[in-house]
Structure 1
Amino acid sequence: MADPGTGATADRPDFASASVPRHLARGALGFGALIGAFALLPVVGPVTLSLLPVGVLALRGCPMCWTIGLVQTVSRGRLERSCPEDGQCRLTVAGRG
């Protein structure tokens, strides 16, 4: 069943953001926190590991989840998937048959 707000279905999770700039900001925060957690470890100590949950939360679980979300965010509204009764799904450019 599709979520009316996002277009996500139970078997197809949606990792997209509302806009590309928002998604890139989430990526900068997430990757910055992950890199900072390890880069600052020798300087500040183990307290910097508290940045790990921030990075994971910003990336929605993992860097690959963020990457999938970026592709979904960029392609949202440009591509559409249709699965007619014949069982073969097709990916087409929106607005074209």
Structure 2
Amino acid sequence: MAGSGSFASESVPRHLIRGVLGFGAMIAAVALLPVFGWPALALIAVGMLALRGCPVCWILGLIETVSRGRLQRECADGACRLR
């Protein structure tokens, strides 16, 4: 797993699976609300757990996961930049 403070997953497919489960559970919660009532909203908790907290965090994690290994920080003469 990525270091603390990181939203990234170990791989892009794994991250996408988490997204499908998370967003799918939240969509199902809303869709099943008329059928099962308030208990259907428990699926929102499942979705949030799969997304590790919030949809925006999942999107940031996707960006980190895709860019891992492509962006590198280079520091010289007291100044750092991404390359």
TM-score, with structure 2 as normaliser? 0.88
Q: Which has the higher helix share?
A: 2
Q: Which runs of 5+ in 1 are unaligned?
A: 93-97
SS at match of 1:66: helix
Moved over 4 A (4+): none
TM-score in terms of structure 1 length: 0.76
| Identity, % of aligned positions | 61
Which residues of 2 match residues 1-97 of structure 1 at below 5 A?
A: 6=2, 8=3, 13-84=5-76, 86=78, 88-92=79-83
Q: Which has the higher contact order (CA 8 A, sep 6+)?
A: 2
| C-alpha RMSD of matched pairs (Å) | 1.7
Q: How many residues align?
A: 83
